[in-house]
């Protein structure tokens, strides 16, 4: 069964600094990978997704992520963060053997951007 | 269109009470699902439906019932609320259950407290 690990529960960073949020997954079959963002008291919004093809995917708000099959990772990066990026970020995976029907989420990483 | 809507936004229950969390979507989506979000645990799938009249269990189904009599609505029922069901509940939907990717949209959430 698939699982997702987000090792960092909280990442503090200064405004305009780069950031990387780590995500590792466990699966033995083909996967789709996702990053979602949740702003305070809101629902989840899709940041970016990897389905197939290029391993470097770009999303909204200047975020990008790289799929590394050998390391089973899908880390999220942004070269320069803004205060408005303060939010919780969730990595998620769905597997081919469930027909990609079920999304399994990681425990989330809270990004705290300070001036 | 309104997307995915959830009511109520907030609810306080006493142990043993029953209630129904409402979820509706106006996008003619086949697939609908319910998640609960707890601190440090990310989102966990409770139940899902791949179409009207078809439901199945997710990761944490105990204590919850669902039905899908129409394409638009997917209510979540708590028959006898317990403090362990204190959580934020999210409903989500996407166009179809097939292997072709389509984005999953989330509702704004219902914050439930069971005393």
B10 touches chain A (CB under 8 A): no
Secondary structure E strands in B74-115: 76-78, 87-94, 105-106, 110-114
Q: Which residues of chain B, if any, have pLDDT below 50?
A: none
Query: Residue B29 belongs to what H/E stretch?
Result: none
Please indicate whether, in this complex, the C-beta atoms of A32 and B97 are within 8 angstroms of each other. Answer: no
For the stretch A74-98, pLDDT in tens is 999 999 999 999 999 999 998 877 7
Does the CA dihedral B44-B46-B51-B55 come out positive or negative? positive
Q: Could you tell me if A20 and A109 are in contact, meaning their C-beta atoms sit under 8 angstroms apart? A: no
pLDDT confidence tier of residue A99, bands split at 50, 70 and 90: low
Q: Is B40 helix (H, G, I), strand (E, B) or coil?
A: coil
pLDDT at A63: 97
Say what the pLDDT of residue B98 is. Answer: 64
3-class DSSP assignment, residue A61 = helix
**Are B40 and A107 a contacting pair at CB < 8 A?**
yes
- As a whole number, mean pLDDT of residues A3-14 equals 95
Residue A1 — pLDDT band, cuts 50, 70, 90?
Answer: low
Using alpha carbons, select from A111, A17, A27, A92 the residue that is nearest to residue B101.
A92
Is residue A43 very low, low, confident or very high in pLDDT (cuts 50, 70, 90)? confident
CB atoms within 10 A of CB B88: 17
Q: Which residues pair with B82 in a beta bridge?
A: none
Instruction: Determine the pLDDT at residue B57.
Output: 94
- Whether the Cβ atoms of residue B64 and residue B46 lie closer than 8 Å to each other: yes
Residue A5: pLDDT over 90: yes
Q: Which residues of chain A approach chain B closer than 8 Å at the C-beta?
A: 4, 6, 9, 32, 42-46, 49, 51, 90, 96, 99-108
The nearest CA of chain A is from the CA of B36 a distance in Å of 11
């Amino acid at each position: 069964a698939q699982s997702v690990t987000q090792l960092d529960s909280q990442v503090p960073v200064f405004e305009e600094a780069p950031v990387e949020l780590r995500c590792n997954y466990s699966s033995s079959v083909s996967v789709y990978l996702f990053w979602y963002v949740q702003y305070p008291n809101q629902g989840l919004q899709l940041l970016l997704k990897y389905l197939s093809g290029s391993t470097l995917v770009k999303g909204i708000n200047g975020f990008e992520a790289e799929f590394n099959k050998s390391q089973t990772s899908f880390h999220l990066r942004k070269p320069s963060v803004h205060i408005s990026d303060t939010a919780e970020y969730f990595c998620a995976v769905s597997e081919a053997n469930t027909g990609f029907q079920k999304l399994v989420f990681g425990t989330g990483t809270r990004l705290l951007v300070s001036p | 269109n309104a997307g995915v809507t959830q009511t109520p936004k907030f609810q306080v229950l006493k142990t043993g009470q029953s209630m129904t969390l409402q979820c509706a979507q106006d996008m003619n989506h086949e697939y609908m699902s319910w998640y609960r979000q707890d601190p440090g645990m990310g989102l966990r799938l409770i139940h899902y439906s791949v179409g009207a009249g078809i439901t199945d269990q997710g990761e944490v189904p105990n204590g919850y019932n669902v039905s899908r009599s129409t394409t638009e609505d997917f209510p979540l029922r708590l028959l006898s609320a317990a403090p362990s069901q204190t959580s934020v509940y999210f409903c989500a939907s996407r166009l179809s259950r097939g292997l072709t990717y389509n984005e999953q949209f989330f509702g704004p959430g219902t914050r439930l407290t069971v005393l």
